[in-house]
Chain A
Amino acid sequence: MSNTAKTSATGRPSLGSLQKRRTADVKGQVFLGLLLLAVGLAVAMVLAVLFSVIVDGLDVLGSRLWSFLSNPSSSDPEKAGVVQGIRGSLLIAAIVSVVAFPIGIGAAIYLEEYAEDNTFTRLIEVAVRNLAGVPSIVYGLLGLAVFVQSLRGITGGSSVISGGLTLSLLVLPIVIITASEAIRAVPSSLSDGAYGLGATQWEVIRTQILPAALPGILTGAVLSIARALGEAAPLLVVGAAAFYTTGFQGFLDQFQGAFTALPMNVANFAKLPADNWAGHAAAASVVVLVVVFFINLVAIIARARITKKLGR
């Protein structure tokens, strides 16, 4: 009570101490209590999710970490592993970075630097904003209709190419939006200076704007990979396999054959009878979480380092 009378919680000096008011700030205390309760609940949710998943997964991870990471799917709980999911997720990450990054960053440069303010530009902007809000499973339908069915000859049907391209479209608006923000944050003095020296628009972009916006663009791109690696719903519709076996695989079969991904492993384990498989679902969840958090960490560190290197 005496605390709030002297300074508010934000550290601003309040006039309360000058007022000689002695009535207790009951409403304020109750309100603060409610806020703290909300914050506590939110933090408790994070901890509960992480701890319960880790504790449940400890059984499998502790007893056979290596075989879990390196075995393919199996109907035997003692042998089942997630290597197919890891490989699928790696390939998906590769496809997303090859497809979504160039298109997304290119679109962002166009929107921020070249585009005039006209109906066409506004149409693109509206499309991007709305695409960002489309539920992920709808992208799965798009992938099913376009990549799996129409382009079957190229993608091989329900393959990692279809899945990767679908997720590329899913993260495209995220890449565009984050890259646009990074480009917009570049001080105009940089480009003004370059224009003053007679550079063309493309030279300004290439030599001034892109290097300065790189940390932001990279962070957004890396985070979008994390998003793509956590998505399961579109892959489910595109037809990621719940269970498949592979013998010797040729080079193209890697990309056109049956596939799965880490989140699909989690979903498949979780859908099996809980007695035998709950531990596997938890263990696969831990693997997904480690991958996603690791990527997030890389983004944060890369950003900090590049920012430091650019001396800003």
Chain B
Amino acid sequence: MTATTSSRPAAARAATWTPVLPTVISRGAAALVEVLLYLVLTIGVAIVEYYVAGPFTDFGPSNWWIGFVIMAAWTGWHWAGAQGPVGSYVDHYIADLDGMPACFSCIAVRQLTRFGVLFGLPFLILDSNVVLAVALAVVSGAMIAFTPDRRAPWDLIAGTVISQSLAGETTRTLPILTKPSDLQLSNQRVAENKRARRVLQSAGVSSIVVSGLIVWSIFSEAWEFVAASDFSWGLLRDIGWFPRRDKFDLSTLFVGTLWITGIAMLVAGPVGLGVAIYLSEYAKPKVRSIVKPAIETLASIPSVVLGFFAISFISPSVLKPGGSVFGIDFGIFSLLSAGIAVGILTVPIVASISEDAMRAVPQELREASYGLGARPVTTSLRVVFPAALSGISAAFIVGISRAIGETMVVFIAAGGSGGAIFEADPTKPGQTITAAMASLGAGTDSVAGSGIAFQSLYFLGALLFIITLVLNVASDAIVRRFRQVY
């Protein structure tokens, strides 16, 4: 590397820069070595576990492979990082922030994270081998603490030593810009830009591909159902929905869906709107910072949990506290109970979209209203609410669309799995479009061969797709058409 520099004239030497740059080869080699080290470590751990824990258990032998594959993939993906991906990520995001160089505890934390996550966790979760997980973390932590540079030894070997020993050949001479053509983009950079654009564009097209796949896969099967069921309203109006016995009564499912959606919006509409008005017009910042995360928590609760909540709490404790209310005999499974749970799921959607709409109303309108002597209630209801009406109605439409599409709550809590007879009473079990699909889907394999039951699954999917699509397009259109431009 010195040969190139010394042969240049003195003036140019100032502009020659000889950093130790890793090359493609050195980085690749480093990554390879790191992968090999992980592999050796993985096999070593496997051997240790074999002797510590005895012969392989049901879930045993695969777990180191999971760990290894994760790390190898990570390395492969991040191989350009010269030192191991684990090292560079964890070092940067945890150690540096903790005020690196010397603190022992932050090194310990770093290593615990590193090994705990990548090696310990699979053992902990899948093998319940606590001892091994903790031992791995402690041993590796100690190793790091006594290694120069406070890096893991394998990082030192893989990253520093190998990449630097191979890196000598690349000396870069900084270009000296003397004439305008020096400023021209090199072909390489232009080509790189074009390549990136092509790759990213194909990622962008993915959404169209997915939409196309949905439409194609659903409607082709749905058409078979329509063709095979000599589609007529007479046939579709039967005693109930029992696809496995060729009874396809859509009105059963429509009534169920209407009840669920109606009840859900009765719960979510007032509560969501009230929360939105309170948060945007009344709440002080401090109250807001408590209430808003609480509502958002509701949004992150998975719907299966709400479904279980409906049969474990809403039905027995709310609808039927010790006997029956109003002489109505509530079972555990009812449309009402499921509808309330779906409503709870819909509250955060209505609340957050409406709140965004109301906060978007410019402050001047409120100030003008207060300036005219209006009270908060008048300002909220007569000034802010009308101005935000398009956003609020969009919120309701999105909420309805979500309630129609909600599956697991109804599947678990509304009863009527497999089929349901026509039932217009919400205190009784019933079935919705989505729950009927879930029941069909849960027995996919057994359904596949029998008549057109399998195709009815796709027919319902097509219906659901069209309904929600219309609602979503409508809400978009409302927002766009009635948005007041301030």
A-to-B contact residues, CB < 8 Å: 4, 8-12, 14-16, 19, 25, 27-28, 31-32, 34-39, 41-43, 45-46, 48-49, 52-53, 56, 66, 69-70, 72, 83, 86-87, 90, 94, 98, 102-107, 109-111, 113-115, 123-124, 127-131, 133-142, 144-146, 148, 158, 169, 172-173, 176, 198, 200-203, 205, 226, 229-233, 236-239, 242, 246-249, 251, 254, 263, 266-267, 270-271, 274, 278, 281-282, 285, 288-289, 292-293, 296, 302, 305-306, 308-309
Residue B360 lies at the interface, judged by CB distance under 8 Å to chain A: no
By the criterion CB–CB under 8 Å, are B58 and A9 in contact? Answer: no
Give the docked Cα–Cα distance between A128 and B476 (Å): 13
By the criterion CB–CB under 8 Å, are B206 and A53 in contact? Answer: no
Question: Which of A8, A90, A309 has a CB less than 8 Å from the CB of B125?
Answer: A90
Residue B207 lies at the interface, judged by CB distance under 8 Å to chain A: yes
**Most A-side CB within 10 Å, residue of B272, B282, B305:** B305
Give the docked Cα–Cα distance between A258 and B417 (Å): 23
By the criterion CB–CB under 8 Å, are B412 and A133 in contact? Answer: no
By the criterion CB–CB under 8 Å, are A8 and B437 in contact? Answer: no
| Distance to closest chain A CB from B112 (angstroms) | 16
Give the docked Cα–Cα distance between A309 and B270 (Å): 42
Residues of B contacting A110 in the complex (Cβ-Cβ under 8 angstroms): 197, 200-201, 203-204
By the criterion CB–CB under 8 Å, are A102 and B375 in contact? Answer: no
Question: Which of A4, A172, A274 has a CB less than 8 Å from the CB of B375?
Answer: A4
CB-CB contacts below 8 Å: B154-204 with A: 183, 185, 189-190, 192-193, 196-197, 199-201, 203-204
Residues of A contacting B58 in the complex (Cβ-Cβ under 8 angstroms): 72, 246-248
| Distance to closest chain B CB from A46 (angstroms) | 5
B-to-A contact residues, CB < 8 Å: 56, 58-59, 61-62, 65-66, 70, 73, 93, 96-97, 125-128, 183, 185, 189-190, 192-193, 196-197, 199-201, 203-208, 210-211, 213-214, 217-218, 221, 270-275, 277-279, 281-282, 284, 291, 294-295, 297-298, 300-309, 311-313, 317, 332, 344, 347, 351, 367, 370-371, 373, 375-377, 380-381, 398, 401, 404-408, 411-412, 417, 434, 437-438, 441-442, 444-445, 457-458, 461, 464-465, 468-469, 471-473, 476
By the criterion CB–CB under 8 Å, are A267 and B204 in contact? Answer: no
Q: Which 4 A-B pairs have the closest CB atoms?
A: A38-B274, A135-B405, A230-B302, A106-B203
| Distance to closest chain B CB from A203 (angstroms) | 7
Give the docked Cα–Cα distance between A238 and B213 (Å): 15
By the criterion CB–CB under 8 Å, are A15 and B208 in contact? Answer: no
By the criterion CB–CB under 8 Å, are A4 and B438 in contact? Answer: no
Residues of B contacting A296 in the complex (Cβ-Cβ under 8 angstroms): 300
| Distance to closest chain B CB from A230 (angstroms) | 3
Q: Known contacts A69-B128, A90-B125, A137-B407; decide if A109 and B301 are in contact (CB<8 Å).
A: no
By the criterion CB–CB under 8 Å, are B213 and A142 in contact? Answer: yes
By the criterion CB–CB under 8 Å, are B347 and A202 in contact? Answer: no
Question: Which of B193, B344, B408 has a CB less than 8 Å from the CB of A232?
Answer: B408
Nearest to B270 among chain A residues (CB) is A38
By the criterion CB–CB under 8 Å, are A200 and B185 in contact? Answer: yes
Q: Known contacts A35-B274, A141-B458, A306-B93; decide if A115 and B204 are in contact (CB<8 Å).
A: yes
Give the docked Cα–Cα distance between A90 and B468 (Å): 31
By the criterion CB–CB under 8 Å, are A172 and B210 in contact? Answer: yes
Give the docked Cα–Cα distance between A19 and B374 (Å): 12
By the criterion CB–CB under 8 Å, are A130 and B211 in contact? Answer: yes
Residues of B contacting A305 in the complex (Cβ-Cβ under 8 angstroms): 93, 97
By the criterion CB–CB under 8 Å, are A138 and B373 in contact? Answer: no
Q: Known contacts A36-B278, A38-B278; decide if A53 and B93 are in contact (CB<8 Å).
A: no
Of the A-B pairs whose beta carbons lie under 8 Å apart in the complex, a sample of 10, sorted by A's number, is A16-B375, A39-B279, A110-B201, A141-B437, A169-B210, A202-B196, A236-B441, A239-B441, A263-B302, A266-B308
By the criterion CB–CB under 8 Å, are A200 and B190 in contact? Answer: yes
Nearest to A51 among chain B residues (CB) is B313
Question: Which of A109, A145, A233, A239 has a CB less than 8 Å from the CB of B407?
Answer: A233
By the criterion CB–CB under 8 Å, are B207 and A267 in contact? Answer: no
Give the docked Cα–Cα distance between A12 and B370 (Å): 9
By the criterion CB–CB under 8 Å, are B376 and A39 in contact? Answer: no
Residues of A contacting B59 in the complex (Cβ-Cβ under 8 angstroms): 72, 83, 87, 246
Give the docked Cα–Cα distance between A222 and B331 (Å): 40
| Distance to closest chain A CB from B140 (angstroms) | 22
Give the docked Cα–Cα distance between A158 and B73 (Å): 24
Q: Known contacts A31-B380, A200-B193, A201-B197; decide if A38 and B218 are in contact (CB<8 Å).
A: no
Nearest to B295 among chain A residues (CB) is A42
By the criterion CB–CB under 8 Å, are B404 and A135 in contact? Answer: yes
By the criterion CB–CB under 8 Å, are B282 and A32 in contact? Answer: yes
| Distance to closest chain B CB from A254 (angstroms) | 5
Residues of A contacting B476 in the complex (Cβ-Cβ under 8 angstroms): 129
Q: Known contacts A10-B284, A25-B375, A83-B59; decide if A233 and B210 are in contact (CB<8 Å).
A: no
Give the docked Cα–Cα distance between A205 and B313 (Å): 51
Residues of B contacting A201 in the complex (Cβ-Cβ under 8 angstroms): 193, 196-197
By the criterion CB–CB under 8 Å, are A128 and B125 in contact? Answer: no
Q: Known contacts A142-B218, A271-B412, A282-B312; decide if A4 and B417 are in contact (CB<8 Å).
A: no
Give the docked Cα–Cα distance between A42 and B272 (Å): 8
Residues of B contacting A230 in the complex (Cβ-Cβ under 8 angstroms): 300-304
By the criterion CB–CB under 8 Å, are B412 and A289 in contact? Answer: no
By the criterion CB–CB under 8 Å, are B218 and A28 in contact? Answer: no
Residues of A contacting B380 in the complex (Cβ-Cβ under 8 angstroms): 31
By the criterion CB–CB under 8 Å, are B437 and A137 in contact? Answer: yes
Give the docked Cα–Cα distance between A39 and B472 (Å): 27
Give the docked Cα–Cα distance between A145 and B96 (Å): 48
**Most A-side CB within 10 Å, residue of B281, B308, B373, B401:** B308
**Most A-side CB within 10 Å, residue of B58, B207, B274, B277:** B207
Residues of A contacting B291 in the complex (Cβ-Cβ under 8 angstroms): 39, 42-43
Nearest to B412 among chain A residues (CB) is A270
Residues of A contacting B412 in the complex (Cβ-Cβ under 8 angstroms): 267, 270-271
Question: Which of B275, B408, B442 has a CB less than 8 Å from the CB of A38?
Answer: B275
Task: Other than A110-B204, A113-B200, A114-B197, give 17 A-B pairs with Cβ distance below 8 A.
Answer: A14-B370, A41-B271, A43-B295, A87-B59, A87-B126, A90-B125, A131-B214, A136-B407, A140-B441, A200-B192, A239-B444, A242-B442, A251-B62, A266-B304, A266-B305, A267-B304, A278-B312
Residues of B contacting A27 in the complex (Cβ-Cβ under 8 angstroms): 375, 377
By the criterion CB–CB under 8 Å, are B218 and A145 in contact? Answer: yes
Residues of A contacting B206 in the complex (Cβ-Cβ under 8 angstroms): 103, 107, 172
By the criterion CB–CB under 8 Å, are A114 and B201 in contact? Answer: yes
By the criterion CB–CB under 8 Å, are B308 and A53 in contact? Answer: yes
By the criterion CB–CB under 8 Å, are B295 and A46 in contact? Answer: yes
| Distance to closest chain B CB from A138 (angstroms) | 5
By the criterion CB–CB under 8 Å, are B304 and A232 in contact? Answer: yes
Nearest to B302 among chain A residues (CB) is A230
Residues of A contacting B469 in the complex (Cβ-Cβ under 8 angstroms): 130, 133-134
By the criterion CB–CB under 8 Å, are A10 and B304 in contact? Answer: no
Question: Which of A8, A135, A176, A246 has a CB less than 8 Å from the CB of B434?
Answer: A135
By the criterion CB–CB under 8 Å, are B65 and A251 in contact? Answer: yes
Residues of B contacting A144 in the complex (Cβ-Cβ under 8 angstroms): 441, 444
By the criterion CB–CB under 8 Å, are A270 and B307 in contact? Answer: yes
Give the docked Cα–Cα distance between A113 and B376 (Å): 43
By the criterion CB–CB under 8 Å, are A131 and B210 in contact? Answer: yes
